[in-house]
Structure 1
Amino acid sequence: MNRATHILRGAAAAVTTTFLAALLAAPAAQAAPGGARTLYAGPDGGGTSCTAARPCSVEGARDRARTERGRDVRVLLKGGTYRLTEPLELGAEDSGKNGRTVTWTAAPGARPVLSGGRDLTGWQRAADGTWTAPVPDGVTPRQLFVDGQRAVRARGEACAAAVCDATKTGMTGADATGIARWQRPTDAEAVIRVRWRNYHCRIAGVSGDVMTFAQPCWTNSASGTGRTGPSWDSTTVDSARYSGVAFFENAPELLDTPGEFAWNSEARTVTYLPRRGENMRRAQVVTPHTEQLLVLDGAHDITVSGIGFAYAAYRQPGTDEGYAGTQAGLTLTGATGPADHAGRYYTKPAAALTVRGGQRVRIDGARFEHLGGAGAILEAGTKDSALTRSSFTDLSSGAVYAGDTEPLPGTALAGERNTVAYNTIRRTGVEYTDSVGIWAGYEAGLTVDHNTLEHLPYSGISVGWGWNQPEAQKSVLRDNKVTDNRITDVMEVAREQHDGGAIYTQGAQPGTVVSGNYINRSAHGNTERDGNGIYLDEQSSHILVEKNVITRIGYKWVSNWADYGIRNTARGNWTDTAAPAPGGTGSVMTGNLTGLDRLPAAALAVASRAGAHGGRVEQLRADLARTGTATQSSTDRTAAAALALDADTTTDTRTLAEAGAWWQVDLGTKRRVRQIEIWNDVSSTTADFDVITDEGSVHVSGKSLRPTVLDLNSSTRTVRIKVAGTGRVALSQVLVHP
């Protein structure tokens, strides 16, 4: 980088920081100045004057605001629930111009909520303890919320591939699973997870032991379409990586757990098994129905502040399209389409709020909860817009989608200089576990800053697109900032999503910086080593990874595995493990503090400041094993015992396969031990073993995880891991905590 380029990039960063500070410092809704007009909307508003005494509906307030020419307009929403049967749409005619501002905001002290929900009433109790209610025409309950708590579509057990064998045309297993004897199997769906992909396809028919599925969902979930990413036929329902159905769902025969429900499309009823303490005669039961709640299409210079969004639907998965997941919550749709390997023609989920082609649109202090799809989308050339200080909780899909999948859009359709900052994102991807917290496609100058992301099934923040395709080499991607975010408990093991990371990137992105983030527990406790901290995947290039704190990661704290991902730099980061050198030409790692068993003060300061509100940092625990001496019963090739003490989860010990194979660390003297972490090797080899100390042993059934964590209170000099029968001991690391 020459000096002029360095100065320009520094200036750009300063401008971004100044812009963000000004954005957050500005009050979301200012008192209307002299000459400005304040209009009022209420949940039951129907007037035309839009006064505090006689508020309008939100549509009425919008129409009245259009008549106010040449002055600022502020629409105040009174508290309560605004039940929408169609989206509230704001366009160019609803925008500010010539210095005029338009603000939609909560009235002082109010908590307005735009809702797409429909109440289900008339519940009747059956002898088996279930309750059934009629469903209005046109409503198809895919989600159900009882007194604000999400119910679960009745689901069964997993079905292994040996029984539920999937092919291009269908699946076996109808007899063994009992589906062949269900009253209405065609209301049920198969939910399948293959690596990072989800599939939800409705059963179309049952003939003997064979099930067929709705089209085009099944075809788009199988190999041979030519419309998905490179080599992705290896992760389809008919691929070798398919291990079976995660569960079938939505059949009354599966109603066996309180909190479950089933929809009967023929009778048009919902049947629910209440949780303890729920009174269905008094409960408020809501199902999402309206798909979008607020759409800003071509709008500019508008602020939306302090408004809630709830019970918006996502209808596609309930149709014959189903949910043929590709990556990050996007799906393959349509019976036909152009051959493509760069993901240009995938479909985003429906969202409660969509900004399409917006400019200088600000969404601030919004609340997104109980949604059947995603939270917010900024797309189709949205520029200089911001989503700030908002919360996202209990969403079926991802929280935020920014940008699109076209690598070289025209100027009007390019996403530029947008901001996603100071938001809290928790428990999203509840239903579509392949979705991510914040997704960005081909964006330039995007700022993703000081967000808190917690308890997510797959990746936390994903920026970039295109994999190893030529389109990803030269695109509009550039100068993006992923800074000071707090990302904890992501890639949750129970959700069975693989090959992701807390922060994930694709494509060449000159000037992009990933800095100051605190990442803790990504794929921690997994069986496979493919959950990363910062994952520079495929052609990720020209990215700086600097001053991040990354701890308790299932695999690599930073992954730059591909030789076509070039000129990346990782410097000055803090982490408890090591990682192999970057794979791409010109990529370097320098000045990183790795293999730590305590975070230094500088790292604690960075981590505590990260996120929407800062917060607690989970300090590392001292490791007694790293200064000990490792031995093992035998050595397979060069997999020496000491490799379990090198703080590198990518290197493995390995004994020969033998009776009573063991690995041991000698701590040098007897020490008080309170916890032991046992990290399996790449093949999850170590299984059915004993952990032996001087005071006794603990047996671990099944395979070791990454890690298996044993809490104990023992004084010991040695810790031995010994297989119970004949087998190998193969470990990537063992930590012994006082």
Structure 2
Amino acid sequence: MRKNKILSVILSLIMLSPSLVRAEEEKASPVWKEVYVSLNGSDNAQGTKEAPFQTIAKAQEYVRTISNEMQGDIIVNVEKGTYFIDNPLHFTTEDSGKNGYRIIYKGEGMPVISGGVKVGVFEKSEHEGIWKAPVEGVTMMREMYVNDKKAYVASSNRQIFGTGYYNDPKTSYDYDGMYISRSDIGDYENAEDIEFAWQRNWKLSTSRVKDIIPDPENPDQVIALMAQSWWNDVASAQYNDLRGRYDVAFLVKNAFELLDKPGEFYYNKKEKTVYYIPREGENMTTAEVIAPKQSRLITFDGRTENNRVENITIKGFKIAHGAFYGMDDTAGFEIAQQQNVRTSNDAPWTTPALIAMDRTENIEFLDNYFFGLGAVGIYMFDAVDGTVIRGNAFSDIADAAIAIGWAHHGGVGATYESVQIKPPADSGLCNLITEKTKASTSYYDNFAYITGGLSWVTDADIAKRVNGGAWRSDPYAPKNGEKSWVRYDFETKYNITNIKLAFSKNVENECRQGYEVLLSNDREFKEGSYVVVATQDTPASNLASYDFDSNGEKYRYLMIRTLAPTKFAISGVWAFTPDREPYASDVPSRNNTIDNNYITRTGETICGGGGISTFYTKGLTVTNNELSNIPYSAIMFGWGWNNKAEGSGDNYIARNYIHNVNKTMHDGAAIYCLSVQRGTIIEENYIRDDYVGEGGVYPDEGSSYALIRRNVTEDVLKNYNLWISTVREITIKDNYGWHNVNRNDGTMIELEDVQTYLPGNDVGDAYEIKQNAGLEPEYEYLRDLVPVHEPDLVEEPRVIIETQTDHHIKELTDCFVALAKDMLENGSFGYLPGDYPIQYKFKLQDACDEVEYKEGVSNRYSYLKLRKIINEMADNVIRVPLNELIALCDKALNLPVSANRGIEGTVSKKAMQNFKDKYIPLKARSEQNLSVAEERDLLLEIEPLYKQIMESKSAIGIKYLYVEEMIDEKVDKENKTITVLMPANANISSQKTEVLCEGTSTSAVFEENLNYERDFSLPVYSKDMDKYEYWQIKVVHDCNNSLWNTVAEESNTAVKADDGNVFLSINKAPYVSGKYFSENTVQTVKFVPKTASEGSKVNLIFAANSALEFDNNTKELKNDHFRLEIENGLANVYERELGEERLIKKGVEFPLMDNVENNIRISCLPVRDKTIIVIWLNGELVTNVLAEREANSGYIGFFNEKTGVKVIE
């Protein structure tokens, strides 16, 4: 939130660096030694300033050798530059700061730690506007970065539907794919790269396409064959609209044919080539383009919970370009909630992190920029205490910026109880397979829980599993001739000395034999890349144990695989190593701090990830962060859906500024929590623009015992959403907002009414909370680190229009209509401090009326319009600082006083005395030492007094004339004339009109619409002055004896050419035809492109739903329309709806003739809520295209950026 600018300046003058304020509060440690790193150095050097090391890893290795003797801090100074890494920086207990001192890795000039590779040289491809370049060293690309700006995988830009399920009787599956209209998808090449993505409520479900083939029975549609067995399982759950279904809207991603807008790319795996459409201003011959490669950049890995990594600071770096391969070779994946991932060949697991932390104490991340990371940014898994994450920027993160803990940290009564998992025999060795080890399988089943942690086979009952019997292979594997397998990824190479497999008693003999146990460093276990630990030809016992001597070799991957296409099942797996001590994997993290960070554009790929996401944790402090542009919830903490789990508590969430969140997934909130939260306080947060979500603060199932107070919520559906009885014993009080809409179905809830104020008129306490929320002044610079662009998400308006239920929409409209009526009744409109600008009074009333009488989709459009106006009004209240308002009031004390009120500009004696009696004591208060809240309240108290005295002046005249469809007006007081500028083709014979007069004067109240076809006089009367004035009212409705008109005379005028035709000049306001594009007709436009050079460019806009909202920039045309863009013999057809323009036809041959007459004919035919557009040029059929928007009539117009147009007809 913006702070007092004077304070910011003072602070910036006294501060040498953003972290000094906090540093002054701490006792500074002496610096014992400094080490230096430079890209120009050598790892054979001494690490001095004169002879620096070349890599951070070498500096780390050196520091480890001297740290035991530390007598002060060690600072590793890393020079500016980009440090590409092939292996993660791995910090263990040996890397800790010793003897109470810290090891500080300090960047000079923000050096970059990059996990990416540079993309090769770009060249123009054979496709117009698309560039290409070779990419080596990656297997898949979900992200790419061009000049430090994120590029996005090619996408359909809009959600589509299938038309039905497809079943191939030749396969063993019930669901093999879906039918899709050819208007939504084509016969794409490399169809196996394509993904369909469903984003619903809190869940992301993605399914991969196997192939796209023609439908032999219907040429208008195709069959999308889906990758199995994932799709069969997903489609079988037809009751669940949170998973993939043909009749639930989904996006199409990752096809070359979808490349249609700047900033998009497609990676062709076969060619190892990336294709890209540059953004404006990007020179692809000089651009730096990076593709992520490394899936881990930094790890902190303490030996045990009692022997941790400690006292390390990472400061002043840009940490960037991390990849995530976990979803790339699967048939599909789902993000169930937060960081819970399930893929087609994996057991449920947790999203990995680019910076992973286990068993640490007092680690700091200060003043860094985390950018372009393909999974979670920083993840604090097990036993991470005392971490400080302060003064960092996070942007363009695929999952959460920061995550803490996981589902097994809840303790007794949790959804997953956190129990120390012991191997079948305590050998004293470390078991590498725990609850969070990534396990992959050859077959997806909805209950494929097979990691050691989830199997829980114990000494006491080797044949019993807590959560079921066993993972089983694909029942059709023998028939299909497929081997079955289970694979584990240890993430690091280890010496494996023993492997144990468990089979519960319900696993048949035929399913526990005929397998081999393999180790490898090749994830694919290609022939020759692995060693065989054991082969099991006969039925294994309930616990099978295999010793192994690796002769010193270390391995990362373990696989159990059938020897032939036979049935297989398994209940538990353990792998033992002497390389590390045994450690507990169920120790929760405590007392961590996330403070003054700027977090934006997170959760872009894994939408349910949020901004800050925690499972079970205690003592967490989240303060003064700014979070924005997030598809789901901004801050999530807690896990489980009951009141029993005590894994969370004593968390403090305060003074955060959260805005533009829940942009695509609605069952969330700015602040979302689960489970028991004893001692947790949520206070003084400012929440704005979360109207898709369920509330500002959302305590979901099991949330209990928290205190929620002194928060500000604006532009939200509900302030506080307690929807179920399992939410209990929460206190919610002393909160502020625009309205008092809440839901309380909880148990023993203390919920006070929200203290309301009109938008833009926040009362003192609310105003102070808003001012103190978000980044403190010394950290506001963080916003400047982050490139500005909108995230590539389904737009919020489209989410509202296409995916929200009627019930949800009714809640939204009821809430905002009530708020609008409150503003109309109690708001102040005019030109004085404290007023909403007068024009909003009429806009708001019209928008409110429109919502109330429209139904269905039209109602949803109307709601969005109403909400936009309310937010504009909140941001545009006329306001001056208190000292300026005091000066205005002092000046008003000198207004002339008239006894009989007959003199213009005077006020009555009574009015002046009343003003003095109320104002003088308030002015005296302003001279006291006031808090921010007291000063704000005083300002709000004085504003109406000033308005009252100024409007009590004897005056006559018109301040403002409102005509319903007008673009603008000009008030000429001297000549008592008002000129109203109307859009082309507006029906000026009947217009709603309202008049605002000066001072105490009045005019007529028009109950019926007025006719503006002729100028007329409007009488104004001042009772005080006993005087009439007559004002001339005229309308400028541009007409040049032609059917073609400019938007308004003030913008430009259509010039009549010598031959009597109309000439439309270059780069001016659009021109609109009086020939309204009528329903079920073919519109003809005859014109001459006038250009002195070769290569004209013409934009023809048609079927626009309004002439009112044209302006000088086609990118800002707010009305719905189609646009035909013609340049250099080619044409593109665009469709604009809800403020979003999308390309629907690209590169059509269009031989427009320069400087001679051309004839364009356009037909729009509605078909099943869509529109078939047919275009002819000079008598020849040029193209036809199916558009999503249904529109067979509307306005037609030109917008010409570089080519003049002479219109003939």
User: Residues of 2 paired with 1:680 and 1:217: CA distance?
Assistant: 49
Deviation at 1:668, TM superposition (A): 11
Structure 1 pair 581–252 and aligned structure 2 pair: CA distance change class (3 A): closer
Deviation at 1:538, TM superposition (A): 1.3
2:200 paired with 1:187: no
The equivalences for 1:553-568 within 5 A come to: 553=716, 555-568=717-730
SS in 1 for 2:350: coil
SS of 1:286's equivalent?
Answer: strand
Quick one: structure 1 residues 78 and 680, their matched pair in 2 at CA, closer, same or farther if it must change by over 3 Å?
A: farther
Seen in structure 2, the aligned counterparts of structure 1 residues 42 and 251 have a Cα distance that, compared at 3 Å, is same
Q: How many residues align?
A: 623
Match of 2:118 in 1: 119
Contact 2:175–2:236, Cα closer than 8 Å, also in 1:
no
CA-to-partner distance for each residue in 1:665-709, whole Å, 9 max, x for gaps? 9969997415428689999973477xxxxxxxxxx8856348444
| 1:607 positional shift | 1.1
User: Where does residue 245 of structure 2 map in the other structure?
Assistant: 238
Does 2:652 correspond to 1:481?
yes
Match in the other structure for 2:696: 533
SS at match of 2:69: coil
Distance in structure 1 (CA, Å) of the matches to 2:132 and 2:731: 59
1:237-386 → structure 2 map (5 Å cutoff): 237-238=244-245, 243-246=248-251, 248-298=252-302, 299-320=309-330, 322-333=332-343, 335=345, 337=347, 345-348=348-351, 350-386=352-388
Question: Which residue of structure 1 lines up, in the alignment, with residue 599 of structure 2?
Answer: 425
The 3-state SS of whatever aligns with 2:768 is helix
Q: Secondary structure at the match of 1:181?
A: coil
Distance of 1:506 and 1:233 partners within structure 2: 22
| More off after superposition, 173-182 vs 604-613 | 173-182
The answer on 1:51 being equivalent to 2:40 is no
Per-residue CA deviation, residues 270-290 of structure 1 (Å, 9 max, x unaligned), is 112223332222111111111
Equivalent residue, structure 1, for 2:1043: none
Whether the 8 Å contact between 2:817 and 2:848 is mirrored in structure 1 is no
1:704 aligns to what SS in structure 2?
Answer: helix
For the Cα contact (< 8 Å) 2:738–2:819, is it kept in 1? no
Relative distance call for 1:65 and 1:147 in structure 2 (3 A) is: same
CA distance in 2, matches of 1:24, 1:594: 36
Q: Determine helix, strand or coil for the equivalent of 1:455.
A: strand
CA RMSD between the two structures: 3.9
CA distance in 1 between partners of 2:620 and 2:817 (Å): 33
- 8 A contact 1:223–1:238 mirrored in 2: no
Superposed CA deviations along residues 47-103 of structure 1, whole A, max 9, x for unmatched, are 241112222211101110111022142211111111011211111000023323221
Where structure 1 has 5 or more consecutive residues not aligned to the other structure, the ranges are 1-20, 225-230, 338-344, 616-638, 654-662, 690-699, 721-738
Name the stretch that deviates more: 140-149 or 60-69.
Answer: 140-149
Question: Which aligned pairs between 1:325-724 and structure 2 lie closer than 5 A?
Answer: 325-333=335-343, 335=345, 337=347, 345-348=348-351, 350-406=352-408, 407-408=410-411, 409=418, 413-468=587-642, 473-492=644-663, 496-523=664-691, 526=692, 530-553=693-716, 555-580=717-742, 582-590=744-752, 592-594=754-756, 596-597=758-759, 598-613=761-776, 672=838, 673=841, 675-676=843-844, 686-687=855-856, 702=861, 704-705=863-864, 707-710=866-869, 716=994
Distance 1:197 1:703, change over 3 A: farther
Decide whether the 8 Å contact of 2:709 with 2:734 is kept in 1. yes
Q: CA deviation at 1:29?
A: 12
**Residues 23-32 or 199-208, more deviating:** 23-32
The answer to whether the 8 A contact 1:401-1:440 is kept is yes
* Greater RCO structure (CA 8 Å; 6+ sep): 1
Classify 1:122/1:668 alpha carbon distance in 2 versus 1 (closer, same or farther; 3 Å).
closer
Deviation at residue 251 of structure 1 after TM alignment? 1.6
Say which SS state the counterpart of residue 311 (structure 1) adopts.
strand
Does the Cα contact within 8 Å between 1:680 and 1:704 map onto a contact in 2? no
Letter in 1 for 2:30: P
Query: Separation in 2 of the partners of 1:394 and 1:719?
Result: 54
Task: Give 1:142-221 correspondences, 5 Å limit.
Answer: 142-158=142-158, 160-163=160-163, 169-173=175-179, 176=182, 181-208=187-214, 209-214=222-227, 218=231
The one-letter code sitting in structure 2 at the alignment partner of 1:252 is: F
Give the CA deviation at 1:551.
1.0
The question of whether the paired residues in 2 share the 8 Å contact of 1:115 and 1:309 is answered with yes
Question: 2:1193 corresponds to which residue?
Answer: none
Q: Secondary structure at the match of 1:413?
A: coil
Higher-Rg member (1/2)? 2
Paired residue secondary structure (2:671): strand
Deviation at 1:137, TM superposition (A): 4.1
Alignment TM-score, normalising by the size of structure 2 = 0.48
- Aligned-partner SS, 1:542: coil
Query: CA 1:701–1:565 in structure 2 vs 1: closer, same or farther (change >3 Å)?
Result: closer
Report if aligned partners of 2:139, 2:269 keep a CA contact under 8 Å in 1.
no
Cα deviation code 1:121-172 (max 9, x no counterpart): 1323223232221121444222122222222222225454353659984532
Q: 1:328-385 CA deviation, whole Å, 9 max, x = no partner? A: 3532246465xxxxxxx5422x333222221111111111112223321111121121
Tell me how far 1:296 sits from its aligned partner. 1.1
Q: Which residue of 2 aligns with 1:17?
A: none
Q: How many percent identity over aligned positions? A: 25
Q: What is the identity, as a one-letter code, of the residue corresponding to 2:78?
A: L
- 1:215 Cα shift? 5.2
Matched, 1:42 2:38: yes
CA contact (8 A) 2:36 2:52 kept: yes
Aligned partners of 2:636, 2:619: CA distance in 1, in Å?
Answer: 15
**Structure 2 vs 1, CA of residues 679 and 542 (structure 1 numbering), >3 Å: closer, same or farther?**
farther
- Structure 1 residues 383-438: Cα deviation after superposition (integer angstroms, max 9, x where no partner): 12121111112222221111212112468621111111111112222333332111
State the Cα distance separating 1:174 from its structure 2 match. 5.1
Displacement of 1:310 in angstroms is 1.0
Q: Could you tell me how far apart the structure 1 residues matched to 2:393 and 2:678 are?
A: 31
Q: Cα deviation per residue 1:594-642 (whole Å; 9 max; x = unaligned)?
A: 3655311111011100112269xxxxxxxxxxxxxxxxxxxxxxx9xxx
In the TM superposition, what is the alpha-carbon distance from 1:474 to its structure 2 partner? 2.0
- The answer to whether the 8 A contact 2:628-2:659 is kept is yes
Rounded Cα–Cα distance in structure 1 between residues aligned with 2:813 and 2:160? 37
Distance 2:823 2:627 in 1: 37
Aligned to 1:60, the other structure's residue is in SS state helix
TM (norm. structure 1) is 0.76
Note closer, same or farther for the CA distance 1:297–1:29 as it changes in structure 2 (3 Å cut): farther
> For residues 254 and 67 of structure 1, do their structure 2 counterparts lie closer, same or farther at Cα, with a shift above 3 Å needed?
same
Residues 384 and 590, structure 2, Cα contact 8 Å, conserved in 1: yes
Partner of 2:84: 83
Is the Cα contact below 8 Å between 1:504 and 1:536 reproduced in 2? yes
Partner Cα separation in structure 1 for residue 822 and residue 314 of structure 2? 61
CA distance 1:668–1:81, shift in 2 (3 Å): closer
> Residue 547 and residue 176 in structure 1: after superposition, are their counterparts in 2 closer, same or farther (change >3 A)?
same
Taking a change above 3 Å as real, the CA distance of residues 276 and 166 of structure 1, as seen in their structure-2 partners, is: farther
Pick closer, same or farther for the CA change 1:665–1:532 going to 2, 3 Å: closer
